[in-house]
A and B are shown apart, each in its own frame.
Chain A
Amino acid sequence: MAVIAEKPRPAAPMHLPGAQRERAGWPKFLPRPNPWRRAWFLESFTWLYLIWSIVPVALAVLFSFNNGKSQSSWQGFSLQWYVGKGDTSVLHNPELHHAVIQTLVLAGLTTVITVPLGVAFAIGIDRWRSRTAAGLSFVMIFSFVVPELLLAVALFFVVTQLLRFIPLGTYAEVAGLVVWNLSWPAIVVRARLVTIGRVYEEAAADLGASRIRAMWRVLAPMLMPAIFASAVLVFAGVIDDFVIVEQLSSTANTQPMSVLIYSNVHSAGLPGPALNALATIMLGFSLIVAVLGLLVYRFMTRQERHGSTEALTSIAGM
C-alpha cells in the first residue's frame, strides 16, 4: 500500500483534490481539467462583445462634442452643437429642438394611454376565463410576432384609406405606438397577476372589501411595480421607435429625433455633429429613463426579498 501511495503521479497537478484525480477512464497522459479555472474564452468573448458594441456609440457621442464639422477627426471640445449660437445647434435650430420635443410628447402620450389600457387588458384576460380570452392572450404577444414594418405599413393604409379622420402626424403616430407597445404592460402586468394569485383579493373581500375596493386597496399597490416597470419600457421603447413614426409622421413638425436623424444622415442637410448631438440626447433620455426606472422599481419592491432579480425579470417581461 505504502509503496503505491508514494509513486509519483506526474499527470496530476498538485492542487487538484483527490476525488478529481481518481476519476476513472481519464487518459494518464492528459492534464486533468481544473473545474475552478478561469473561463478565459468566455471572459474574452464578453469583453470583445462589450467593446464592439460600446466603442461605436462612444465615438458617436464623442464627436457630438467636436469643435468642428468633422465626424471623424477630433478638433477639440466644444458644446457648439448643443447650445451654440448659430442655427446649427440643437438648442437654436427649430427643426432639431422640435424633434426633441416631439419625441418627448410621443413618449409621454403613448405611455399615458398604453399603460392603463394594457393593465385593463391584463386584468381582463386574467379574470375572464374562456376560449376567447385564451385567443386574446395570444394577441398580447402580437408585437413580438408581427414585423414592425408590416404593422407600420398596415397602419399607414388604415389611416390614409379607412380612418381618414385621423390625420397623419402626432395623432396617427400615437395611435400606432399604442398598438405596437400595448404588449408590454399587458404581459408584464399579467405575469405579476399570475404570481400574486387571487388569495389577497379574497382576503380583502373576506375582511369586508367589495370587489372594486379590494382591487383598489390590495391589487393596485401590489401591481404598482409591474405597472411602473411597463411604463418605463413603453417610454423607452417610444424614444427608440423609428419604423412606425417614420410611416405615420407627416410634416417636419411631427418628426421625432429618430426620423430626423435618419432623414439627414445620408443627405447633406444638417451638419453631422449636430445629428450626433441629437442622437446623444436620445441616448441620454433612454439611459435616464432606464436608470430611474430601475431605482424606483427597487425602491418599490424593497419589501420583497430578491428585489433586484425580480426587477430584471419583470422589466424583461418574464
Chain B
Amino acid sequence: MGAGEAGGGKAGDGKAGGGEVGAGEAGDGNGTTDRSGMTDRNRDAKSGHIELASLTKRFGDVVAVAGISLEVAAGEFFSLLGPSGCGKTTTLRLVAGFERPDAGRILIDGRDVATLPPHKRDVNTVFQSYALFPFLNVAENVAFGLRYRSVSKADSARRVAEALELVQLAGYEKRRPGQLSGGQQQRVALARALVLRPSVLLLDEPLGALDAKLRRALQVELKTLQEHLGITFLYVTHDQEEALTMSDRLAVMSGGQIAQLGAPREVYEEPVDAYVAEFLGVSNLMDATATRPAGATEVCHVRLGEFDLEAGCGRIDSTGAVKLAIRPERVELGAYELTGGNRVPGMVERLVFLGSATQIFVHLAPGVTLQALVRNDGRALPWSQGSPVSVALPADALRVLATEVPAFEEALAPAVG
C-alpha cells in the first residue's frame, strides 16, 4: 500500500516537471542506444503501421470480432473503446497472434502476419494482469525477451537498466513481482515490452487494476512515453475518458464492429449514432420525428412532442424516427416567459452542485428529462426545484442521430435509412 502511494506520488510529480526531466534523460540514453544498437533493429521513422482488413473471429456461435477494418499510422496512439464483451481484447489478441483469425488480414508494415506465431511478430503486449513471471525478479523479467534477440550479456544488462530507468523503477532490480505494488508491476510489464523496442505495443486495459488517482498519473506518463519513443500504441480500454484524453484517434466498438472511428474530438462532438453518443459520456438523448429533411436551409425540421425544432448537425437528411442529442453544456436555461425558435418550456426537477458547475435536471413539456450544465460564475442561480424555465436547444448544438441502426447493418443495407 505504502509502496503504491509512493509510486503514485512519484508519478504525480512526473506530471509537473520530474517527468520532463526523466523523459529528457531517457531520450539522451535512447538516442545513443539507437546509434550503437543499429544492428538490433533498424528503426527508421516509418515502422509500426498496422492495417486490419475485414478481420473476423468466431468462438463457436459467438462472433467476437465481426469484420473489423482499420488502419493505424506508424507512431500513432490508437484506442479501441467499447463496453465489456465487444471484442476489444480479441482484436488485440489477433494482432498479437494468440488467436488465429477466421477471416481477414493483419498487416504490420505492409506484411501479412496473420499466420505468424506470436514469437515471430514484431509486436509486444502489456497484459491486463501484467503476467509478470513470479519466479523471476524485476531485472530478469525485463531481460526475458532479450534472450531471443542475440544481444550480448553486457548489452542486455545495459538495456534492462535503461528500460527500468525509463519507467522510473531503477533500484527495484532484485525485487520479485510479488513485492511490488500494482502500479510498479504495471511499469515492469511496460519495461519488459519496451526493452525489445517493438514497432507496435499492444496494451490491454493496462491501467484497469489501478485506483483512480494512480490511473490518471500513469495516463499522462504513458502518453508522454509514447510520444517520446514514437512507438505505435494500440490501446484497449472501456474508459471513455481515458480513450479521449490519450488517443490520437480511437475506434468505438460495439458487438465486434466498429461503430465510429475518428479523432477524440470528432467522436465526442459528432457521434454518428445514439450508441456512440451514449457511450462517450453524458449526452441528452431524445426520441423525435424528423418531419422535413434539410433542403437549402441546412437545417432539419424535427418534432419533439408538440414542439417543432430545427436541428443543424448530424444526419440532417433523415426522415422519420430519429434521436436528438445535445450535450449538457449546450443546453441553455432562461426565464419562463422567453419564447422563440427552438425553445421548449420545462420545470427544474433537481439541482446538483458540482463545484465548477451546477448540474440541472429539467423536465421538458414533451415528457423528457434533460441535463443542463451551468458554469459557476459566483452568482446564485435564479432557479430552484420546481421553477418553471424556458429551455433553449440551439440548432447548431442539436444533433440528429440515426436511431437503433448500428453502423454495420447500415453498411450491409444502405437502403434502411
Contact = CB atoms under 8 A, between A and B. Distances in A.
Interface of A: 199-200, 202-211, 213-214, 218, 221-222, 303-305
Interface of B: 96-98, 117-119, 123-125, 127, 129, 131-135, 144-145, 147-149, 176, 178, 192-193, 196
* Interface SS, A side: helix
Contact of B135 (A209, A210, A213, A221): A221
A208 B144 CA distance: 9
A206 B135 contact: no
B176 A207 contact: no
B274 to A, nearest CB: 36
A305 B178 contact: yes
A202 B193 CA distance: 13
Given A208-B119, A209-B119, A203 B135 contact: no
B196 A208 contact: yes
Contacts of A211: 117
A205 B118 CA distance: 6
Contact of B196 (A202, A204, A207, A213): A207
Contact of B133 (A206, A210, A218, A305): A218
Contacts of B134: 222, 303-304
B176 A202 contact: no
A208 B131 contact: no
Give the one of B98, B192, B193 with max A CB within 10 A: B98
Given A208-B148, A208-B196, A210-B119, A203 B131 contact: yes
B124 A207 contact: yes
Give the one of B123, B127, B133 with max A CB within 10 A: B133
Contact of A202 (B118, B135, B145): B118
A203 B127 contact: yes
A304 B178 contact: yes
Contacts of B97: 205
Contacts of A202: 96, 98, 118, 125, 127, 131
Nearest to A218: B133
A305 to B, nearest CB: 7
Contacts of B144: 204, 207, 209
A222 B135 CA distance: 8
A207 B129 CA distance: 16
A209 B388 CA distance: 69
Given A208-B145, A303-B176, A305-B178, A203 B119 contact: no
A199 B148 contact: no
A205 B117 contact: yes
A51 to B, nearest CB: 42
Contacts of B133: 200, 203-204, 218
Contact of B119 (A206, A218, A305): A206
A210 B129 CA distance: 21
22 contacts: A199-B127, A199-B131, A202-B125, A202-B127, A202-B131, A203-B125, A203-B127, A203-B131, A203-B132, A205-B98, A205-B118, A205-B119, A206-B118, A207-B119, A208-B196, A209-B147, A210-B117, A213-B148, A214-B119, A222-B135, A303-B176, A303-B178
